[in-house]
Structures are given as structure tokens and as C-alpha cells.
Amino acid sequence: MPELPEVETVKESLKTLILGKTIHHVDILYEGIIHGTTKDYFSKRLENEILMDIGRFGKFLFFRFSTITLISHLRMEGKYFLKHSFELIAKHEHVIFHFTDGTSLRYHDTRKFGTMELVEPGNEFLMPNILLMGPEPFDNQFNLSYLKSRIKSSIRPIKSFLLDQNNVSGLGNIYVDEVLFLSRVHPETQVKNLSDSEILKIIDSTQAVINKAIELGGTTIRSYLSSLGITGRFQNELNVHLRALKPCIICNTPIIKIKVGGRGTYICPTCQKRKG
Ligand SMILES: [Zn+2]
């Protein structure tokens, strides 16, 4: 599943390839991807639009056209490929943006869980899915007092708390495991029991992990491949995720896999002691 660093990598690679292109027409082969409007309106509204910029918030991509913004969420398996318009439509290509220069941007999604929605420029952050989202890991707003205000007296495990996009945007399963390992915090720790210094460590580790992942282009775990076959190198840097039975890089204790809130979770049982 693409997480924030992968989506950032997709955004940056798409920017180098398609900025400035003009849409000739859009073919929608599976309309379940399109939300908020009919597929006919969606196609018509995008005709003749010029792609001015691509932005991102959490795992949402914002394609900013001259007079409309397209918000795309890749969910589990969404990918974009740039091909010539005359190339045959491949299996799982559901939305095809044909540009006036004879190229086409193809949205490929084996699971069909991805979404696309049009929004008036300036209203991106009023979208119901986006409005309630917490700050990104690098925002100034993601700090001790903010997290304490979200934690209050909650007994949620810290892992579930960090996966909740309303607390912080863009953290997924892989990165939360890495963050908690670096912070030496057991993922089942109830958030109300975290000390200030542990919360500060979690903030620092979150920023370190996400920045490093962006620098290395994210991970490519499972079938995820960022646009145009750019593969992430961050998977070589994972300290605990998917390393069950391998020695901890700090203390040599074998890494174990547990379940937290239904999610497969990797920890070092020595470095990440359970509290209480
Ligand atoms: Zn260890």
C-alpha cells in the first residue's frame, strides 16, 4: 500500500513528466473510481484543461489544472503510467487521460479501491475526507502540545493512534512500526501512559523515518511500484518491519511479529518493553 513517502515520490516523478500538458479527452473504463460526479461530467470538465501543478496532502494527490483540481487517492494498488495514446489499453487501466501531445496518463488499479474526485480550486481542504485529517509529520503543528491534546485520557494503543489519519496524516503500517522501534516504545502502550519524553521521541522518529523514506523514494513492498517503475530503496533500510526472526540491529534479540488492532506488527521485544 503506498504510504506518504511513496505518494510523494509518485508526485515528484509525475511532475517531471506531465506538467504543462493539456487534456484532449478522458476515457473512463470503470466508473467506480470516480466519486462526486457522473463519469460524463468528469470527462467533459477536464477537456482542454492544462496541468499546472501537482500537490499532495497525506496520501492524497492534487492534480491542479487551469480551472479545476482533481484529487486522487491510490488506496491499496493504484499506480500511474505514462504511455503513448495509441498503445493498447492494458488490463486494470481504468481511467485514461489523453493529452493533446499524443501521450496518455493511465490510472492502473488491480483492486479498484482508488478514488478520483473533482473539486473547485481552493476547496481541496474542505473535502470531507481531508477536512478532519491531522497535520503531516513535518508540520510545526505536529508537536508535543498538539499530541497531548489529541491523547487526553485515551487508552488506545499508540500504534492505532498513529495510524489514525485524524491524528497525523500519511502514516501507514510500515512506517509506524519503524517509528515505534526507533522510539523504543511498545506498540500496545496506551497513549495516556506515554511520558512527554516518549512523545517527543515519537515526533522526532516520525520525522526522521518519513524524511529518509522520501529521500530514498519510499518502499516497494508487495506489488506496489511507483509511477514508471521507479522503485523505492527505503525497503533496504527497514529496521523491524518484515524482519521477523532476524536479529535486532541494536541488541540482537530476534524480531517478533504480533497483532495490534488487527494489523501485523513487528517489534524487538527487548528494545520495546511493554509498560506496566
Ligand atoms: Zn532490540
218 and 155 in a single domain? The answer is yes
Mean pLDDT of 92-117: 95
Measure 97 CA to ligand 1 centroid, in angstroms: 48
**What is the rounded average pLDDT for all residues in the chain?**
90
Is 93 annotated as catalytic? Answer: no
Measure 162 CA to ligand 1 centroid, in angstroms: 21
- Residue 239 domain-assigned (yes or no): yes
The CATH number for 76's domain is 3.20.190.10
- Residue 115 domain-assigned (yes or no): yes
178 and 233 in a single domain? The answer is yes
- Residue 65 domain-assigned (yes or no): yes
Count of domains for the chain: 2
Chain segment 139-169, per-residue pLDDT in tens: 999 999 999 999 998 999 999 999 999 999 9
Other beta carbons within 10 angstroms of residue 50's beta carbon come to 15
pLDDT value of residue 5: 84
End residue of a domain, out of 108, 131, 154: 131
- Annotated catalytic residue, options 11, 21, 59, 64: 59
Query: DSSP letters along the chain, please?
Result: ---HHHHHHHHHHHHHHHTT-BEEEEEES-GGGEESS-HHHHHHHHTT-BEEEEEEETTEEEEEESS-EEEEE-TTT-EEEEEETTSPPPTTEEEEEEETTSEEEEEE-SS---EEEEE-TT-GGGSHHHHT----TTSTTSSHHHHHHHHTT---BHHHHHH-TTTSTT--HHHHHHHHHHHT--TT-BGGG--HHHHHHHHHHHHHHHHHHHHTT----TT---GGGPPPSGGGG-SSTT-TTSBPTTT-PBPEEEEETTEEEEE-TTTSPPP-
The CATH number for 199's domain is 1.10.8.50
| pLDDT band (50, 70, 90) for residue 219 | low
Collect contacts of 60-65 with beta carbons under 8 A, ≥24 apart. Answer: 60/7, 60/129, 60/130, 61/7, 61/10, 61/11, 61/14, 62/124, 64/121, 65/23
- Residue 137 domain-assigned (yes or no): no
- Residue 203 domain-assigned (yes or no): yes
Is 263 annotated as catalytic? Answer: yes
156 and 85 in a single domain? The answer is no
pLDDT value of residue 218: 62
239 pLDDT higher than 60: yes
- The better pLDDT of the pair 6, 261 is held by 261
- The better pLDDT of the pair 230, 45 is held by 45
Ranking 71-75, 91-95, 214-218 by mean pLDDT, the lowest is 214-218
pLDDT value of residue 233: 64
pLDDT value of residue 223: 33
| pLDDT band (50, 70, 90) for residue 270 | very high
pLDDT value of residue 216: 78
pLDDT value of residue 221: 39
- Residue 188 domain-assigned (yes or no): yes
Mean pLDDT of 127-138: 91
- Residue 138 domain-assigned (yes or no): no
- Annotated catalytic residue, options 2, 5, 137, 157: 2
220 pLDDT higher than 60: no
Measure 219 CA to ligand 1 centroid, in angstroms: 23
12 and 81 in a single domain? The answer is yes
53 and 93 in a single domain? The answer is yes
Mean pLDDT of 249-257: 97
181 and 119 in a single domain? The answer is no
Is 257 annotated as catalytic? Answer: no
| pLDDT band (50, 70, 90) for residue 77 | confident
pLDDT value of residue 4: 85
Measure 182 CA to ligand 1 centroid, in angstroms: 10
In terms of residues, how long is the chain? 276
* Residue 63 domain boundaries: 4-131
Pairing of strands 115-119, 34-35: parallel
d(CA 178, CA 239): 6
